[in-house]
Amino acid sequence: MKKILPILATLLVLVGCSSGSKGTTTVCTADEKVDFMPHEYTFIHDEDLLKQMNVKINIVAPSKDEADAFVKELEGETEDYGFTVERLSDLEFQMLYTLDAEKDAQDIASMISDGRDIKDIKISETIADFEANNFTCK
């Protein structure tokens, strides 16, 4: 599951944003619902010129033991990848990823200029990694 964290962070950010040609503008709308995906992601922005973007995903584990193990695994990784994890119940937890748009916009622009088409990125493959372990994402 550890390989999921950096992939999930990058892919969630890329689906929510597009960058201008100079890589300084991140275009997102507040509380945008990504309805073309099988799972709902909510992008929440502060009002300070989109300097930060939060990507939120709720995950339900198949058992309390699985949830405990996964949250424990995430604890050591959250600072490295910019995640916070909040336990919502015995089975459910929420992962929140914060993007610094000013710092990361250039990286996003570089991926686009290298010819990567954002709409071709398959987040469903990352979600499938969770679901293969009987986690439910919503």
Per-residue pLDDT of the chain (138 residues), as tens digits, is: 444 444 444 444 444 443 333 333 333 333 444 333 333 333 333 344 334 455 567 777 888 888 888 777 776 665 655 667 788 899 887 777 665 555 555 555 555 555 554 443 334 444 555 566 655 555
| pLDDT score of 106 | 54
The domain of 79 spans 4-137
The CA distance from 63 to 19, in Å, is 40
The structural domain count of the chain equals 1
- The CATH code of the domain that includes 103 is 3.30.1460
